[in-house]
């Protein structure tokens, strides 16, 4: 499958260096290089073999020498039960599932860390049960996902630390169902849904907030059309006594009703600060509220939304109103943004309630 080597500084911001194929160093820098179909997901020119290993995986006990699963076509759902595992250049087509899970499920207490590098997640049989990834202590870099309910379901029911690092990925679209086994109002599609625990980094991703039915082309009939709910949703459904303190920076977002939402819980939640900086909006097609005109256009969008117990970049924004951001979160200068908003800061909306 080719020689693997490490190049120091490939991930120039944080995290362990990636394993990359010989002669495939394209200079991609997390948070600077915009993810596309060409620079994320499996390598088009590298061969892959059929995965014939177990569906239940016990990884290495040594974090410096993880079990490596390299260049495989994986047509089943996998569960990592323990240890340290690294997936490189793998195509995941497993599905549809019979319970809420991911194409790779990393929720077990014994998981040490699971790395996903240059992998593609596209289920051959889609399902309202199926995310791309779900669990804790995952590092997801330069992957591509489409046709799943959520890209990453992030939580840890076993310990306070979730510690997921999601960097340099391209989320193309999510699959919508009008009803599922727990929601009468349809699938609650999110890009990255963090449901509690400390340690979440979302950096340098392109999160395209659009959804279709199973065929990948038919537009849903609901009020918001192709726009799913949240691009990044941080909340406290589990580990309510632990501050999340997420880092969400240098991402590109498009679509979504609410691109970034950070909140606690209506009761029993723990206040925290969210670091949200230098994210770029590639359109201004988000949900709006109020009648106040902004840049000569009606209403103000829910770009970044927090609740009363959350500060953003250490700032306690005024309750019940929207305030322009001062930390580099802004609209791109592109035709998809109304002319009056191009290059302008986005808004932070702080609710008067928690949860």
pLDDT tens digits, 29-62: 999 999 999 999 999 999 999 999 999 999 999 9
126 lies in some domain:
yes
- Indicate whether 307 belongs to any domain: no
Closest CA to 192 of 214, 215, 169: 169
Q: What pTM was computed for the model?
A: 0.91
How far apart CA 313 and CA 250 sit, in angstroms, is 14
pLDDT in tens, 75-88: 999 999 999 999 99
Question: 60, exposed or middle or buried, with CB in 10 Å at 0-12, 13-18, 19+?
Answer: middle
Instruction: For residue 274, tell me if it sits in a domain.
Output: no
pLDDT of residue 182: 67
Domain presence at residue 195: yes
What's the total number of domains in the chain?
A: 1
**Lowest-pLDDT choice from 91-100, 122-131, 293-302:** 293-302
Residue found under tokens 């998809």 = 336
30 belongs to a structural domain: yes
pLDDT at 5: 34
Give one DSSP letter per residue of 158-206, joined into a string.
Answer: SSSEEEEEEES-EEEEEE--S--SS-TT----EEEEE-S-EEEEEES-E
- The rounded distance, in Å, linking the Cα atoms of 325 and 224 is 25
Judge residue 317's burial from the number of C-beta atoms within 10 Å of its C-beta, 0-12 exposed, 13-18 middle, 19 or more buried: buried
Query: Residue 318: is its pLDDT beyond 90?
Result: yes
pLDDT at 19: 59
In a domain, residue 102? The reply is yes
Arithmetic mean of pLDDT over the chain: 89
Smallest Cα–Cα separation from 113: which of 64, 69, 158, 177? 64
Residue keyed to tokens 């679509």: 255
pLDDT digit string, tens, across residues 117-174: 999 999 999 988 899 999 999 999 999 999 999 999 999 999 999 999 999 999 999 9
At 14 the pLDDT is 34
Range of the domain at 71: 4-256
| Mean pLDDT, residues 233-244 taken together | 94
* Residue 187 pLDDT greater than 80, yes or no: no
Stretch 240-252: mean pLDDT, rounded?
A: 96
Confidence at residue 10, expressed as pLDDT on a 0 to 100 scale: 31
Look at residue 25 and tell me whether its pLDDT is greater than 90: no
**45 belongs to a structural domain:** yes
Flag whether 311 is in a domain: no
Per-residue confidence (pLDDT) for residue 216, from 0 to 100: 87
> Which of the pair, 180 or 107, is modelled with greater confidence?
107
């Amino acid at each position: 499958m080719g020689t693997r080597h490490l190049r120091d500084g490939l991930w120039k911001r944080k995290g362990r260096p990636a394993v990359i194929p010989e002669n495939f160093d394209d200079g991609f820098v997390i948070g600077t290089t915009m993810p596309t179909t060409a620079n994320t997901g499996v390598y088009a020119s590298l061969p892959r073999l059929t995965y014939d290993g177990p569906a239940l995986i016990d990884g290495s006990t040594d974090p410096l020498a993880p079990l490596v699963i390299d260049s495989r076509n994986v047509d089943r759902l996998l569960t990592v039960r323990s240890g340290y595992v690294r997936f490189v250049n793998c195509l995941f087509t497993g599905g549809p599932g019979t319970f809420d899970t991911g194409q790779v499920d990393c929720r077990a207490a014994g998981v040490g860390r699971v790395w996903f590098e240059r992998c593609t997640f596209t289920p051959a049989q889609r399902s309202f049960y199926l995310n791309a990834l779900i669990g804790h202590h995952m590092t997801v870099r330069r992957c591509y996902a489409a046709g799943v309910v959520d890209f990453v379901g992030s939580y840890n029911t076993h310990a306070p630390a979730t510690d997921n690092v999601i960097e340099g990925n391209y989320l193309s679209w999510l699959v919508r169902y009008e009803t599922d086994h727990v929601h009468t109002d349809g699938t609650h599609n999110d890009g990255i849904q963090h449901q509690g625990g400390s340690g979440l980094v979302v950096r340098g991703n392109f999160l395209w907030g659009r959804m279709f039915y199973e065929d990948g082309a038919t537009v849903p009939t609901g009020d918001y059309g192709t726009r799913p709910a949240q691009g990044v949703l941080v909340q406290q459904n589990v580990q309510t006594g632990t501050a999340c303190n997420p880092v969400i920076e240098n991402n590109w977002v498009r679509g979504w009703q609410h691109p970034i939402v950070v909140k606690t819980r209506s009761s029993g939640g723990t206040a925290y600060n969210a670091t949200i900086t230098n994210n770029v909006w590639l359109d201004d097609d988000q949900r709006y509220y109020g009648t106040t005109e902004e840049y000569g256009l009606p209403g103000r969008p829910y770009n970044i939304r927090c609740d009363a117990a959350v500060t953003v970049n250490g700032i306690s924004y005024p309750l019940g109103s929207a305030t322009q951001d001062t930390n580099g979160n802004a609209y791109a200068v592109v035709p998809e943004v109304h002319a009056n908003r191009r290059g302008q800061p986005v808004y932070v909306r702080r609710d008067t309630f928690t949860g």
